[in-house]
């Protein structure tokens, strides 16, 4: 999915002639673009575009640490760290949605026995299940992987 199709003001955007796509930025950071493409990306990056700077920041950290940016494993780690941050944002959003709901009834066990779950109770239950069974374990696993990567 190309997130940066063009500048915020159209083709001749505020941050340069156009935003390079994510794939183009990745290829640029790995040194896998032509000279013409590299000049275009460099010109754009020199404008200080915050979106493109945010996207390339992890690559620069790797370079500063002396790691090879072309290393597929290092690139995968960067992507997984970003995914962990995205999952954390989703977790906070879900907690926010849950906080806007009226409290779940205290007699949940009785509702389950009678199979009369209210819509609110069902929403609370689904959010809790998604958080506990999927999102939070994924965040935990990705953090552990990141910690192992830093030790190596």
The predicted model gives 104-110 an average pLDDT of: 67
What is the count of structural domains for the chain? 2
Same domain, 63 and 83: no
Same domain, 50 and 107: no
Q: Which of 5-9, 47-51, 95-99 has the lowest mean pLDDT?
A: 5-9
Residue 4 binned pLDDT confidence (cut-offs 50, 70, 90): very low
Same domain, 50 and 79: no
**Mean pLDDT for all residues in the chain:** 75
The whole-number pLDDT of residue 16 equals 46
Same domain, 86 and 57: no
More confident residue, 99 or 37: 99
Kindly list the distances between the CA atom of residue 92 and the CA atoms of 86, 95, 102, 138, 143, in Å, as whole numbers in the listed order: 10, 5, 18, 14, 17
d(CA 118, CA 100): 16
Give the end of a domain, one of 49, 68, 87: 68
Same domain, 51 and 99: no
Same domain, 19 and 63: yes
The predicted model gives 5-31 an average pLDDT of: 61
d(CA 138, CA 119): 27
The whole-number pLDDT of residue 96 equals 94
d(CA 14, CA 79): 27
Name 16's bridge partners. 13
The whole-number pLDDT of residue 104 equals 73
More confident residue, 51 or 141: 141
Residue 91 C-alpha from the chain's centroid: 12
Percent over 90 (pLDDT), the chain: 20
The whole-number pLDDT of residue 111 equals 64
């Amino acid at each position: 999915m190309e997130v940066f199709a063009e500048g915020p003001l159209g083709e001749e955007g505020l941050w340069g002639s156009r935003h390079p796509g994510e794939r183009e930025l990745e290829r640029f950071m790995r040194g896998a673009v032509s000279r013409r493409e590299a000049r275009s990306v460099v010109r754009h990056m020199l404008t200080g575009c915050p979106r493109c700077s945010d996207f390339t920041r992890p690559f620069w950290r790797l370079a500063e640490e002396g790691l090879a940016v072309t290393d597929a494993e290092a690139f995968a780690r960067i992507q997984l760290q970003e995914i962990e941050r995205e999952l954390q944002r989703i977790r906070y959003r879900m907690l926010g949605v849950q906080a806007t709901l009226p409290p779940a009834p205290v007699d949940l066990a009785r509702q389950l026995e009678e199979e009369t779950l209210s819509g609110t109770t069902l929403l609370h239950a689904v959010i809790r299940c998604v958080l506990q069974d999927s999102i939070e374990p994924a965040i935990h696993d990705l953090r552990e992987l990141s910690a192992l990567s830093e030790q190596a």
